[in-house]
Amino acid sequence: MDSSLIQSLFNFLTNNIFIIIFIFAAVEVFLIIIIFLMMKKHETILLDVSDNLLKGFKDAPDKNSLQNIHEKIEGALDFIHHKISQSPELREDFIKNAQSINQRPNYSHHYKLEIYASIMSTLVQVFPLLGILGTILAIAQTAFQSGGQIDVSSLSNAFVLAMDTTILGIAFSVIFMVVESTFQPKIERVINESTEYKNIVSKLHLS
């Protein structure tokens, strides 16, 4: 490959390495917002599914404003499992209630949430690599500019660029790693609850 082409590529990447890092950071923030909104929407749908399945049962769990959505969903799931296992004749009542759930089938569509969460997790690992890339680019650019003879001034500029990109990459990685560790259990919980409701409704329809 032509060395001038390589040098042009290195120069372009070196001059825009900070922009590249910030673009990845902006994409990560966008994914976080999208995932947050998707989780909220999915939680609301699951709560509606709970209310539909428990409709007409006088001994259904009381609504408690102090409970969060997941606690309400967990209480509904425990009630449904108990009722079906202890009173098989109540299946007919649950089947009637399950008919209305077909109007909102999105309660089981959590694939986009999983995809976005996977991309978010992957991007977290990219930021340290971008920091290392900045270090390599700084050294390479210094070598190209000096024609193989590295002076103190060029080396100093390369060191500053390498340190800045490394620190920025690590900083973004740490920040988004904390965000991911906060989101991941909630995402898994939403997916598990969705799967459990899907299994319940499927069994009711099959029966």
pLDDT beyond 60 at 107: no
| Percentage above 70 pLDDT, the chain | 76
DSSP per residue, 159-186? HHHHHHHHHHHHHHHHHHHHHHHHHHHH
The average confidence (pLDDT) of the chain is 79
pLDDT band of 142, cuts 50, 70, 90:
confident
Residue type present at position 55: K
pLDDT in tens, 36-75: 998 888 888 888 777 777 776 777 777 776 678 878 888 8
pLDDT for the residue numbered 43: 84
Q: Give 147-152's long-range contacts (Cβ < 8 A, gap of 24+).
A: none
| Percentage above 90 pLDDT, the chain | 24
Cβ–Cβ contacts within 10 Å for residue 58, how many? Answer: 4
